Amino acid sequence: MTKTYNKREKYYPSLSDHKRQGKNLIPPFLLLPNLALKSWTNFRLPEMLWAVLIISHAERDIALYHFRNVVNYLAGLPEGDQPQDLTLTALSKIQPEILDGLIVELCDDDDVNLSLSPLTLFPNLPGQKSWIKNLDEMASLEKWDLLKEAIVKCYDHQSQEATDCRWIRPLYQTVRGKMHFPQHLIHLSEELLRYPHHGDMRAVRPTIRSMEGAIDDLQNIGANPNNWTEHFWQTCLLNTPCEKVELLMEQKETCTSINIDKIDSLILQLNEHCNKNRLDSAINPKFDTTFGISLYSLQIFREIVKNQMQNTILGRTALRSIVECFITLRYLRKNDNPDLWLAYRNYGSGQVKLALLKFDEIGECPNFVDQGKLKLNINYDRGEEFLSINLGNWEKTSLRDMSEKSGTKKEYDLYYTITSGFVHGMWEAVNEATFEYCGNPLHRFHRIPINSSPQLNDIIPDAINLINKILGDVDRLYPQFPYRVETK
């Protein structure tokens, strides 16, 4: 009963594309030598904010026309007067009158003048005096709106608008003669100079982004925050409110027809089947384990349904328990070895003996522990003084290996890893259950705590899938148990 899977875009490397290094699977991009991880959004976008504002509000042809003018203006200066780059920080280091001249030239177009006005929102803008002197004033609220619109368009480093802003950095270095192309790559120079009207854009755009990344390595902007980029994001955060966002959630499959009476009937049927198959009162690890694991799984399922916990964190920890029960029982059934059934049983008893001995050492016992019942249980098969404690896994292997050997690797891969994250309180479980995204792009879509209890996708269809497989195993081990969890 797994839902239709929406295969992710080929953009992401597949599992087989990864390379194993020790206990890590490394994606191909991280295997490239001397790769420094850089962020367009965090660091370079604020540095190219002037271009981001222009491309986001002007007709594209007009914006690119202005970009070329900026490049030609600056590259036409004597070399000593040229900025090293087109970032706001680099521009702030040139002679003020040259920067003034550039801004005056740009602001000759009233639309550009207006679209650049958000620059005046930032007290620590590099070259602030020149920008403020030459930009028209407008209401602060409108400036924040203009800025927000621009950040949305350029947030993704691969968007057309972001690519246009990234294009002018290699263009500038090429026009001023600082970037050269070997003869066999001369077509790249043509594509850069005549962008976006020359070459196959599906290849040209990624090439431009790579060139810009390489330039950034030289300028060392992308990997390190500077005063300006920190100031930019901090000012945005302090001056604009968080916004609630309704993410488009995947359609949740639910099982409204499951009710507690149906599960109670099933538990009764399983109890009757258990009693019917008991041949004597002797210790029988296979019998006890088969009915014990199946009833344990059903009781977990019952608790989830009765308390309507199918969309909760605990629902997922329950699913994790059920999948482990399923893999364990299937492994035992496939092997059907008396020693193995006994090993499973002795391992559990040994673990409880270990815990009780630790309580003796500490001189305390947790509230939830029923010492009397546990002592009775572990002494049932034999005196606990004859019970060994296994400090490893009960089958000297892992659940993953057991799933491979029992033909349940599919269920392991489907259900185990993500639900384990919820059991162990790993980050992505914590993230999914406790946070939502702020919808304000000026806040970089940071996380905000969820006010109500989390509404996670329903685990019932997955639990039914596993429970029915467990009941199928009961039927194989002790035949003529046809009952399953019905959803209609």
Residues that contact Zn ion, how many (by CB under 5 A): 4
Distance in angstroms (rounded) separating the CA atoms of residues 147 and 121: 10
Residue 35: other Cβ atoms inside 10 A: 11
Task: Name the minimum Å distance from CB 407 to Zn ion.
Answer: 48
Kindly tell me which residue out of 438, 463, 471, 485 binds Zn ion, with binding defined by CB under 5 A.
Answer: 438
443 binding Zn ion? (CB under 5 A): yes
Task: Name the minimum Å distance from CB 233 to Zn ion.
Answer: 11
Tokens found for residue 159: 């968007």
Q: How many residues does the chain have?
A: 488
Please identify, among the stretches 21-29, 225-233, 241-249, 291-299, the one whose residues bind Zn ion according to the rule CB under 5 A.
241-249
Comparing CB distances to Zn ion, the nearer of 114 and 438 is: 438
442 binding Zn ion? (CB under 5 A): no
- Residue 270 in contact with residue 478, Cβ under 8 Å? no
Please identify, among the stretches 219-227, 369-377, 425-433, 443-451, the one whose residues bind Zn ion according to the rule CB under 5 A.
443-451
Tokens found for residue 3: 């839902």
Comparing CB distances to Zn ion, the nearer of 150 and 438 is: 438
Distance in angstroms (rounded) separating the CA atoms of residues 486 and 8: 32
- Residue 301 in contact with residue 469, Cβ under 8 Å? no
Task: Name the minimum Å distance from CB 446 to Zn ion.
Answer: 6
Distance in angstroms (rounded) separating the CA atoms of residues 89 and 205: 25
Task: Name the minimum Å distance from CB 240 to Zn ion.
Answer: 8
Q: Helices 160-175 and 140-154 meet at what angle, rounded to 10?
A: 80
Kindly tell me which residue out of 1, 104, 242, 260 binds Zn ion, with binding defined by CB under 5 A.
Answer: 242
179 binding Zn ion? (CB under 5 A): no
Comparing CB distances to Zn ion, the nearer of 242 and 376 is: 242
Distance in angstroms (rounded) separating the CA atoms of residues 205 and 150: 20
Task: Name the minimum Å distance from CB 439 to Zn ion.
Answer: 8
Q: Residues of 367-391 as b/e, b for ≥16 C-beta within 10 angstroms?
A: eeeeeeebeeebeeeeebeebeeee
Task: Name the minimum Å distance from CB 484 to Zn ion.
Answer: 48
Please identify, among the stretches 102-110, 219-227, 421-429, 439-447, the one whose residues bind Zn ion according to the rule CB under 5 A.
439-447
The one-letter amino acid code at 72 reads N
- DSSP annotation of 4: P
| CA end-to-end distance (rounded Å), the chain | 14
Please identify, among the stretches 254-262, 303-311, 355-363, 435-443, the one whose residues bind Zn ion according to the rule CB under 5 A.
435-443
Comparing CB distances to Zn ion, the nearer of 383 and 449 is: 449
Task: Name the minimum Å distance from CB 236 to Zn ion.
Answer: 9
Residues that bind Zn ion (CB under 5 A): 242, 438, 440, 443
